A and B are shown apart, each in its own frame.
Chain A
């Protein structure tokens, strides 16, 4: 039983990660006081990935598993990125169509957009 010997870690490891998650969560919460922009989005994603990484690697012990299991769990979710890409691309068209047919004209200086009511 590899897990019998594999999951024995000193308690201090968990206390460190626990404290670290608290600190990163506080930092993550602090981004709410920032101006919206690329820096804020970057920090939200960075803190999110740091927290997720430590939870999966240490609390869920994935760091201590064999590579066969690690890859079986971490590779499949990557296909979600394809869905995100497709949906994000499609969203531009949908948004533009809605603006043209039911929304306000986003470019008033250029005159009404074709098809606008």
Chain B
């Protein structure tokens, strides 16, 4: 903590130190951050290309508020499923934060429990996304066209949410593997920083969803 708040002068010292730049950061965590940085670029480019095709099409863009509405209690509620998916993913981020915290307290049992809870909420998210895809495909949305307007809507939707869903699915598998290995005692001689590393990945998946929710569903 004292080091972290030491101020901007540490930047030059750290980068010029001729040894490990990211001091106090386990190598696995540094590598996960670098991977997430590269993933940031991938999702940024997806969203930028979505902006480009949406801005260049001369046809009207389908209204996401209506496309993603669901019937509930006799009313059509806009973006209902998307809102539930958002809250589900935030909940999974919360349980992941607890898992990281218990990991650093060396409370292995609670850390494993909360990692599994996170994986559960992630699996629920993927399930809801499958339902969303099924609904849109049965309504005639294809990567090359849809009944409501600009054809690019489908290609953007499937590409962006598909890539994000793939990240969530991979994350669920990753979480379960780490939970199993924690249980087996593979990390007992370490500081349990592996929980923070898998946590970084999981929070990133939630972070990407924040941007997809804003730009694709709300805009």
Contact = CB atoms under 8 A, between A and B. Distances in A.
Interface of A: 1-9, 11, 14-15, 17-18, 21-22, 25, 28-29, 31-33, 41, 44-45, 47-48, 51-52, 55-56, 58-61, 64-69, 71-73, 76-77, 80, 83-84, 87-88, 90-92, 94-95, 98-99, 102-104
A47 B3 CA distance: 31
B45 A66 contact: no
A83 B45 contact: yes
Contacts, number: 178
B26 interface: yes
Interface in B8-61: 8, 10-11, 14-15, 21-26, 29-30, 33, 36-37, 40-41, 44-45, 48-49, 51-52, 55-59
A104 B60 CA distance: 11
A87 B97 contact: no
A9 to B, nearest CB: 7
Contacts of A71: 11
B7 A67 contact: yes
Given A5-B1, A6-B1, A28-B218, A66 B55 contact: no
Contact of B15 (A33, A55, A68): A68
A47 B211 CA distance: 10
Nearest to B40: A77
B213 interface: yes
B218 A32 contact: yes
* B contact patch SS: helix
Contacts of B23: 2, 66, 68
Contacts of A9: 101
27 contacts: A2-B3, A3-B24, A6-B3, A8-B105, A17-B97, A18-B90, A21-B94, A25-B86, A29-B86, A32-B79, A33-B78, A47-B214, A51-B210, A52-B207, A52-B210, A58-B97, A60-B203, A65-B4, A66-B4, A67-B7, A67-B8, A73-B33, A73-B37, A80-B48, A91-B52, A95-B58, A98-B56
A14 B98 contact: yes
A33 B66 CA distance: 11
B76 interface: no
A77 B214 contact: no
B61 to A, nearest CB: 12
A95 B86 contact: no
Contacts of B196: 3, 7, 61
Contacts of B11: 67-68, 71
Contacts of A87: 48-49, 51-52, 55
Contacts of A61: 196
A48 to B, nearest CB: 4
Closest 4 CB pairs of A and B: A2-B24, A103-B58, A91-B55, A68-B14
A83 B43 CA distance: 13
A53 B187 CA distance: 31
